[in-house]
Amino acid sequence: MKDLDKTDFKILKLLQQNARIPMTELAEKVGLSTTPVTERVRRLERENIISGYHARLNPHALGQSLLIFVEIKLRSKSGNIFEDFRREVSKIPQILECHLVSGEYDYLIKLRLPDMSAYRDMLGNILLQLPAAAESRSYVVMEEVKEEMLLDLG
């Protein structure tokens, strides 16, 4: 971890809560003037501690209510299979996350789709057509209990 002081962590916590906070307000909340706070934020961006700023969209309001987790097992683990799989997955916009995991299956994928019909199409025509995809197991989310994007910074 990079050398961060208490003020850096305060800045990060506040920006996580509201990335649109004006620099003057941010400076006031951390007890510095605007210029040093702006310099700190720029340094945190340069060092890729802050990797971007995003609007958090409501998927239900945008017709993307179905949340599904899919485990994918590959039929082979040799050659460029993992690289080929990652490359193809990165092209699919409905895949929000994809993780190489330990256990019986190789990848865990998080998808957002409009409905079950869209998922059937996605599974049969896209996911199971990915390089070396042999098997899948799906978990349809019935209730989103907690989805937090904020890191615990102490």
Q: How far apart (Å, rounded) are the C-alpha atoms in residues 135 and 72?
A: 6
Q: Do 76 and 135 reside in the same domain of the chain?
A: yes
How many domains does the structure of the chain reveal? 2
Residue 59 lies in a domain: no
Q: Do 36 and 76 reside in the same domain of the chain?
A: no
User: pLDDT of 35-76, one tens digit each?
Assistant: 999 999 999 999 999 999 999 999 999 999 999 999 999 998
Residue 101 lies in a domain: yes
Q: Do 76 and 16 reside in the same domain of the chain?
A: no
Q: Do 26 and 85 reside in the same domain of the chain?
A: no
Q: How far apart (Å, rounded) are the C-alpha atoms in residues 40 and 33?
A: 11
Q: Do 80 and 117 reside in the same domain of the chain?
A: yes
Question: Which CATH number goes with the domain that contains 89?
Answer: 3.30.70.920
- Worst-scoring range by mean pLDDT, 6-10, 28-32, 149-153? 149-153
Is residue 1 scored above 80 in pLDDT? no
Residue 150 lies in a domain: no
Full-prediction pTM beyond 0.95?
no
Token pair in block for residue 147: 């989805």
Question: Which CATH number goes with the domain that contains 19?
Answer: 1.10.10.10
Q: Do 18 and 76 reside in the same domain of the chain?
A: no
pLDDT of amino acid 131: 86
Which residues, in sequence order, are bridge partners of residue 107?
72, 100
Q: Which residues contact 119 (CB under 8 A, 6 or more apart)?
A: 66, 68, 111, 113, 138, 140
Q: Do 70 and 133 reside in the same domain of the chain?
A: yes
Q: Do 31 and 74 reside in the same domain of the chain?
A: no
Domain span at residue 103?
66-140
Residue 105 lies in a domain: yes
